[in-house]
Amino acid sequence: MSRANMRLIIGLWLILLSTQLVGVERFWFARDLIGNGQWWRLVSAHFVHANFIHLLLNMLALALILVLFDRVFRLFQWLLLIVVSAFILGLILYDYMPQVAYYVGLSGVIHALYMAGAIKLLQKQQERLLAVILLCLVTLKLLTES
């Protein structure tokens, strides 16, 4: 694993632990509070979790994604993907899922990172079969969850 990705994992883990310790209620997606101008919750909700097990599972999944797609993106690209996907997912929750009053967790961002990595692998001839397998696996996972 590259040093940059190792630092990214450690940095993200520290952010996740810090936001959890400061207090979930300060960061979670709360539709009424977002409607009253607390727009940062569109992004911050992805960095707090329902409980410690949820946090640990998301931390492990994040590390696995960064290991699996270690050399696919540079550090800045990973950071951009994380922030942009968190923001877009927050907007989708707010604009298109009015039944969702509260939300926490990094799972949506983790899925976005996984998909971005797999799609990027499709561009490499020698990695195309792996990319197709990874895309089929995530599709199967999402279908069984719905």
Kindly report the pTM of this predicted structure. Answer: 0.91
Name the domain count of the chain: 1
Helix (H, G, I), strand (E, B) or coil at 105: coil
Task: Tell me if 132 is assigned to some domain.
Answer: no
Work out the average pLDDT over 39-60: 96
Backbone angles phi, psi at 27, to 5 degrees: -125, -20
Task: Tell me if 59 is assigned to some domain.
Answer: yes
Task: Tell me if 28 is assigned to some domain.
Answer: yes
The pLDDT > 70 percentage for the chain reads: 100
Task: Tell me if 75 is assigned to some domain.
Answer: yes
Place of tokens 């989708």: 92
Task: Tell me if 126 is assigned to some domain.
Answer: no
Instruction: Give which of 93, 85, 131 is closest to 112, Cα–Cα.
Output: 85
Task: Tell me if 74 is assigned to some domain.
Answer: yes
Task: Tell me if 116 is assigned to some domain.
Answer: no
Helix and strand totals (H; E) in the chain: 7, 2
Task: Tell me if 20 is assigned to some domain.
Answer: yes
Q: Quick one: which H or E segment has residue 29?
A: strand 29-30
Work out the average pLDDT over 86-91: 98
pLDDT number for residue 1: 81
Q: What is the DSSP letter of 28?
A: S
Can you give the residue range of the structural domain that contains 26?
3-106
Question: pLDDT, tens digit, for every residue of 113-142?
Answer: 999 999 999 999 999 999 999 999 999 998
When the pLDDT of each residue in the chain is averaged and rounded to a whole number, the result is 95
pLDDT number for residue 85: 98
